[in-house]
């Protein structure tokens, strides 16, 4: 099975061929064309190059589909949304290639539609690669950042294996090695993701015995594709034990983000009450300076929203103000409690 990094490289080559073919097509269509003989006055070298790029694009498409489509039959659960989108774009590209070949070979009277088909292929290729390549590179970066393969991480993993309740015949010293950890990573990325999205597998940290039991429970399930061997069970369990600190950090960051969002939303309610009812305790209410509020808005908000939006379309009620700021917090805006009150009063 093709690795994610190899797949990403082929994807970028595929995208490069699409760009080269389409932009060369734009140049070729600038030359005079005889509609009766279906002959162009473009240099033969350019037409041959364009034809070769088209053949290479189609052959690479077939090669990638040859490796990707069989994975679909081994899924035992509903396909993840990104996989569905990936599949639909792949099918669309295949249909467009088929239509293009049919026009060139049998239906030349539709030849004037070729630029539209070429541009459609380019758009679909960008969308297809955009859904796959960034995730592959992100996976590679994350795997290189983990401390699981460091000497300290390996020593920690070896110590934890004593509590993991692996079978007595499992070679713990060998499992706690860089080579075996890489093998476990490979099993996770090639076999486990056949049935599970990687985000589902790594959704929360587990204890060493829990990882071992979870992997064994998955391994004994009937599968359509290649099963996980006992040795692979041990290696992937060890790898999951090794990266548990990374999972803990990720979960901790998510929890902190959620707490920060909840605190910010609570502060919005307080600020909206102050706006509506007026200050109850002068010592607890933030002093309001319009110049400072404008500067704060420009620093926090106007990087995404033009300043004129507030002037031309201000919120008309407390509820609308709260809804706007809540929406911005949900997509990543971070504000201190005092800043929330200041901005709420400014845009209202």
Give the tens place of pLDDT for each residue, 10-28: 889 999 999 999 999 888 8
Q: Is a pLDDT exceeding 60 seen at residue 238?
A: yes
Rounded mean pLDDT, 260-286:
55
What confidence score (pLDDT) does residue 202 get? 66
Pair 156, 46: CB distance under 8 Å:
no
Give CA–CA dist 125/17, Å, rounded. 10
Confidence of residue 279 (pLDDT cuts 50, 70, 90): very low
DSSP for residue 149: T
* Among candidate residues 21, 199, 218, 209, the one with its CA nearest the CA of residue 118: 21
pLDDT of 251 over the 90 cut: no
Which residues are bridge partners to 33 per DSSP?
A: 40
Measured between alpha carbons, how far is 117 from 27 in angstroms, rounded to an integer? 16
Q: How far apart (Å, rounded) are the C-alpha atoms in residues 59 and 1?
A: 18
pLDDT at 347: 72
Query: For the chain, percent helix, then strand, then coil, each to nearest 5?
Result: 75, 0, 25
The pLDDT tens digits of the residues spanning 283-328 come to 444 566 778 777 777 776 655 555 666 666 677 777 777 777 777 7
Q: How would residue 53 be classed by pLDDT, with cut points 50, 70 and 90? A: very high
Nearest to 154 by CA among 245, 229, 228, 248: 245
- Per-residue model confidence (pLDDT) at position 79: 64
Please tell me what DSSP assigns to residue 331. Answer: T
Instruction: Report which of residues 307 and 246 the model is more confident about.
Output: 246
Average pLDDT over residues 151-161: 88
Most confident stretch, 19-28, 132-141, 278-287? 19-28
DSSP calls for 158-209:
HHHHTTTT--TTS-HHHHSSHHHHHHHHHHHHHTGGGTS-HHHHTSS---HH
Which pLDDT band holds residue 98 (cuts at 50, 70, 90)?
very high
Q: What's the mean pLDDT in 58-65?
A: 90
Cβ–Cβ contacts within 10 Å for residue 317, how many? 11
Please return the burial class of 321, using the count of CB atoms within 10 Å of its CB with bins 0-12, 13-18 and 19+: buried
Choose between 77 and 228: higher pLDDT. Answer: 228
User: What does the pLDDT look like over 184-210, one tens digit per residue?
Assistant: 888 887 777 666 656 666 667 788 888
**What per-residue confidence (pLDDT) applies to 153?**
86
Question: What is the pLDDT, as a whole number, of residue 243?
Answer: 84
Residue whose token pair is 């548990």: 244
**What are the two backbone dihedrals, phi and then psi, of residue 303, each rounded to the nearest 5 degrees?**
-65, -25
Average pLDDT, the chain: 77
277: its two tokens: 């009812």
Q: For residues 221 and 256, is the Cβ–Cβ distance under 8 A?
A: no
Angle at 108 between CA 102 and CA 112, to 5 degrees: 105
The pLDDT of residue 96 is 93
Domain boundaries, the chain: 4-136, 151-242, 252-347
Q: What is the pLDDT of residue 218?
A: 82
Mean pLDDT to the nearest integer, 251-275:
64
Residue 17's pLDDT is 92
Q: For the chain, how many residues are written?
A: 348
pLDDT band at 282, cuts 50/70/90?
very low
Spatial distance between the Cα atoms of 225 and 60, rounded to a whole number of angstroms: 25
Least reliable range by pLDDT among 84-98, 191-205, 237-251: 191-205
Per-residue pLDDT for 2 more than 60? no
* pLDDT for residue 16: 93
Residue 39 DSSP one-character state: E
Please report, for residues 16, 274, 279, 285, 287, the alpha-carbon distance to residue 282 in angstroms, rounded to integers and kept in the order given.
64, 11, 6, 5, 9
Q: Rounded CA gap, 116 and 316, in Å? A: 46
The string of DSSP letters for 89-136 reads HHHHHHHHHHHHHHHHHT-GGGGGGHHHHHHHHHHHHHHHHHHHHHHH
Distance of CA 289 to the CA centre of its chain: 42
Query: Taking Cα atoms as reference points, which of 284, 307, 331 lies closest to residue 346?
Result: 307
pLDDT confidence band for 330 (50 / 70 / 90): low
């Amino acid at each position: 099975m093709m690795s994610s990094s190899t797949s990403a490289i082929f994807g970028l080559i595929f995208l490069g061929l699409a760009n080269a073919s389409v932009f060369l097509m734009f140049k070729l269509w600038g030359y005079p064309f005889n509609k009766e003989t279906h002959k162009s006055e473009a240099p033969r070298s350019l037409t041959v190059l364009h034809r070769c790029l088209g053949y290479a694009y189609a052959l690479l498409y077939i090669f990638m589909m040859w490796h990707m489509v069989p994975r679909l039959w081994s899924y035992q659960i509903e396909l993840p949304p990104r996989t569905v989108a990936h599949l639909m774009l792949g099918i669309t590209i295949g249909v467009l290639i088929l239509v293009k070949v049919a026009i060139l070979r049998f239906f030349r009277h539709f030849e004037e539609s070729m630029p539209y088909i070429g541009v459609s292929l380019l758009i679909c290729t960008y969308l297809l690669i955009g859904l796959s390549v960034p995730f592959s590179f992100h996976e590679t970066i994350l795997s290189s950042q983990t401390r699981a393969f460091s000497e300290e991480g390996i020593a920690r993993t070896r110590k934890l294996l004593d509590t993991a309740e692996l079978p007595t015949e499992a070679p713990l010293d060998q499992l706690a090695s860089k080579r075996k950890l890489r093998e476990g990573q490979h099993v996770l990325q090639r076999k486990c993701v056949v049935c599970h999205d990687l985000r589902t597998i790594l959704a929360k940290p587990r204890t060493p015995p829990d990882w071992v039991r979870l992997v064994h429970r998955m391994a004994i399930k009937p599968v359509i594709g290649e099963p996980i061997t006992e040795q692979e069970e041990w290696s992937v369990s060890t790898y999951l034990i090794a990266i548990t600190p990374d999972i803990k950090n990720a979960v901790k960051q998510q929890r902190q983000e959620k707490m920060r969002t909840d605190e910010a939303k609570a502060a919005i309610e307080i600020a909206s009450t102050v706006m509506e009812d007026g200050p109850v305790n002068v010592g607890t209410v933030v002093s309001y300076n319009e110049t400072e509020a404008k500067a704060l808005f420009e620093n926090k908000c106007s990087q995404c929203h033009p300043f004129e939006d507030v002037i031309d379309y201000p919120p008309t009620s407390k509820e609308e103000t709260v809804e706007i700021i809540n929406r911005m917090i949900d997509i990543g805006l971070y504000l201190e409690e005092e800043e929330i009150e200041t901005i709420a009063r400014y845009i209202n």
